Amino acid sequence: MTDIKDKLKHLKKERQTRTKTQKIRNTWETIERTENLSTKEKLEHLINLTRTEKKPENKVPEFEPQEREPFQFIENPYPLDVRYGKIKIAEGLAISGDLLSCLSKDPEFEKLDLSTALFIDLETTGLSGGTGVIPFLVGMGYYRDGKFYVAQYFLGDPGAEEKMLKELNQFFLDMKFKSIVTYNGKVFDIPLLETRFILKRQPFILSEMPHLDFLFPARSLWAHKLENCRLHNLALEVVGTGRTEDIPSAEIPWRYFQYIQTGNYDLIEPILYHNQEDILSLLGVIIVGSQIFSEDPKACEADAMDFFGAGKILEKFGQTEKSSQYFQKAIEGHLSDKIFLSARRRLSVQFKKNQEWDKAVSLWEEMASAENPSNDLLFSLRELAMYHEHKQKEYLEAKKVSEEGFVLARDFSLYYERDFSRRMDRLRLKIKKEQEKQD
């Protein structure tokens, strides 16, 4: 009987703990949706709403608040021969400035490489940005002295933010970084960090550096291939890291505010791990992405879908000849029907610009043989109609192709339907004039 009572008492205690935790979570979610509150105000509001009345009898609290260091600097070195997923840390040093320039669309990278780059990722008290949001964890990665370091500044006391930023600025100066690398940093991390530096009247030298935000090339490389391009997903699918221990981004601010209340460092350790993994994952996806462009078959494990993505990046950068080569490699491999059409369409445009008409027409005819209506199919018919009308002066053939396009465009694309209708009207007039000349 005593054992049962003890078990029931233990279960009741667990239930009370879960109820309290859920109450705090729900309260935090409500506060997080409230705009125009500073971090301090959010914390005070959370404490007030979750505070319980003290009972007259003296009881030992469930958790004694612990002392917190104002801020900490944590640094972990990784030897260059260490593997992270399927890549080696050292492989980041082999990425050329020309490729970095292409990926970033910034010519300043041409004379740089990743040996002087600063990888940066923030964990913050909110996900929406704004002056009330504090970056309480600044994660950084960099190559130095034959190693790759992951360093972190952790703000244990929000009141010490100014002192931490001052030390962080000195760190940037001492390390002499020449560029920055982020994942969605142009929209979130760098503007937010710059705002904090300005508010604390500190200089912010990172804003003057070339910036590779790899979110954008990552989408070009893999958005057509993978379910999503979140960094965690790319680490799993592209780098092969097997990242399993992780916490949702929405939970990170809640954990930090709980830490401020309790000093319980166990709440923070998963965030430190998450941030460190993000830095290594960012390096990993850049290495794998750069290897798609390698001319060494041994260094490249890319497939046709990867080549298609590389072609898109080169096309955007204005390297049409190289992009054509990658689109050609893509259509020679295994592609989904949608991507196969898109690759041929892009390749045909390059052939048209170079006036390689035989190659362009061949692709348009292949695309026009598709069974189901699509924008790529209608595009190919339109191009064939223009080729026969303007290049070959074959008005009857152009009219035939336009009529086919008009029928397929109905109930599918108003734009193409109108285009083919106007084209047919014009061709009828041209054909009539030709016949009048012959008569």
Q: Identify the pLDDT of residue 41.
A: 63
Q: Which pLDDT band holds residue 45 (cuts at 50, 70, 90)? A: low
Q: Which pLDDT band holds residue 300 (cuts at 50, 70, 90)? A: confident
| Residue listed under structure tokens 């009247």 | 201
Residue 55 pLDDT greater than 50, yes or no: no
Whole-structure pTM value: 0.81
> Is pLDDT larger for residue 353 or for residue 51?
353
For residue 240, the SS3 value is: coil
Residue 19 pLDDT greater than 70, yes or no: no
Q: Identify the pLDDT of residue 43.
A: 61
Q: Identify the pLDDT of residue 56.
A: 43
Lowest mean pLDDT among 11-15, 116-120, 208-212, 263-267: 11-15
For residues 139-162, give the mean pLDDT.
96
371 Cα distance to chain centroid:
35
Supply 406's token pair: 């008009």
Residue 97 pLDDT greater than 60, yes or no: yes
Which is nearest to 291 in space by CA: 307, 314, 269, 272?
307
For residues 301-318, give the mean pLDDT.
93
The residues with which 135 forms a beta bridge, in sequence order, are 124
Q: Identify the pLDDT of residue 246.
A: 76
> Is pLDDT larger for residue 363 or for residue 132?
363
Average pLDDT taken over every residue of the chain:
87
Supply 292's token pair: 């798609």
Residue 32 pLDDT greater than 80, yes or no: no
Q: Which pLDDT band holds residue 58 (cuts at 50, 70, 90)? A: very low
Q: What percent of the chain has pLDDT over 90?
A: 71
Lowest mean pLDDT among 70-74, 140-144, 292-296, 393-397: 292-296
Q: Identify the pLDDT of residue 434.
A: 87
The residues with which 119 forms a beta bridge, in sequence order, are 141, 181
Q: Using CB atoms within 10 A of its CB, is residue 91 exposed (0-12), middle (13-18) or buried (19+)?
A: buried
Lowest mean pLDDT among 101-105, 232-236, 361-365, 373-377: 373-377
CB 211 within 8 A of CB 179: yes
Residue 432 pLDDT greater than 50, yes or no: yes
Which is nearest to 355 in space by CA: 317, 387, 397, 402?
387
Residue 37 pLDDT greater than 80, yes or no: no
d(CA 406, CA 428): 14
The pLDDT tens digits for 152-183 are: 999 999 999 999 999 999 999 999 999 999 99
Q: Identify the pLDDT of residue 369.
A: 87
Residue 1 pLDDT greater than 70, yes or no: no
Q: What percent of the chain has pLDDT over 70?
A: 83
Q: Identify the pLDDT of residue 29.
A: 65
Q: Identify the pLDDT of residue 216.
A: 96
63 Cα distance to chain centroid:
39
Question: Quick one: which H or E segment has residue 378?
Answer: helix 375-386
